[in-house]
A = this chain, B = another copy of it.
Amino acid sequence: MKVYGSIEAGGTKIVCLIAKSSTKILDQWVIQTEMPEMTLNATVAYFKGMLLQHPEWQLQSIGIASFGPIDLTLTSKTYGFIQQTPKPGWAGTDLVGFIQREMGVPVYLDTDVGGAALAEYTLGAGKEKNSLIYLTIGTGIGGAYIHYGKNIYGIHHAEYGHMKVPRIPDDAYRGGCPFHDDCLEGMASGPAMLKRWGIPADQLPMDHPGWDYEAAYLGQAVINLIYTLSPEIIVLGGGVMNHAGLIDKVQDFVHANMNAYCQPAAYRTEIRSTIVLPQCGNIAGAIGGLILAENGLKAKK
């Protein structure tokens, strides 16, 4: 039986899947993300062990959805390497090369958020659509644009969190990004909310003005992305979006602030079904990895 592997390499945990297809998962395994050598050896040991236990499983390929920054340029000498990162020990790790050498099957790569975006596009909120933006708002802010099934970027994967949008005039918070101070991530990530209000986002009361600030920053970022890429659907995920009512506030901000300029019905009358929460759950990135593994082989043939 043909099976596919997936590795969602996150900053705090690694999720591995073995599956018949992206909708038929046979096994799931999770470990904490420690130093790279130990973590990657354990990951390989998991796959090898499962394949020994199930001699009928024929591993075809592996998809990796990894935290970044990571080099996605196929022709680059450091393709598949983790780039500069504050995560101890991981900068310069040859993630794709290691897995490919150890497992001996084709390995396909995207970012973790690229994987989640692909999962939502293929099986989730975007499954009837041709273009989708996925934006995740948690410890950091990241995103990806899927256009007719492909993650679109130029010489580096997207880093939506580091765009800048206007400050709210009475917002005194300096911004928490070590590189850009008050970029989107610096102003609207979970840690930024904690630092500004002194309360973790998940404990901030429903009627706290912090949610209006948050909706304004996220809403303006969404408007910038609409005027740049106009996706059919926009999925907002990540821990901060778990706050009940935040999605509605973002929808309202976008609707009001586009102010009827180049505002197709999707962003006007259909705003509630266009800016939405994710549907693929908390292993979306790993499911995206399975889709990468399947699609990568198909493209090769």
Contact = CB atoms under 8 A, between A and B. Distances in A.
Interface of A: 69, 83, 130-131, 145, 147, 152-167, 179-180, 182, 220, 223-225, 227-232, 257-262, 264, 266
Contact of A156 (B160, B259, B262): B262
B232 A179 contact: no
A223 B154 contact: no
- A-B interface, 9 closest residue pairs, ranked by CB to CB distance from nearest: A131-B154, A179-B261, A154-B230, A163-B224, A156-B230, A154-B231, A159-B227, A162-B227, A179-B259
A158 B230 CA distance: 7
Give the number of times this chain occurs in the complex, counting copies: 2
A182 B159 contact: no
Contacts of A130: 154
B155 A266 contact: yes
Given A154-B131, A155-B131, A163 B228 contact: yes
Given A166-B182, A179-B261, A228 B158 contact: yes
B165 A164 contact: yes
Main secondary structure of the interface of A (DSSP, over half): loop
A259 B180 contact: yes
Nearest to A129: B154
Given A180-B257, A257-B180, A261-B179, A229 B166 contact: no
Given A179-B260, A224-B164, A229 B153 contact: yes
A232 B165 contact: no
A184 B229 CA distance: 16
A145 B158 CA distance: 14
Contacts of A220: 164
A232 B155 contact: yes
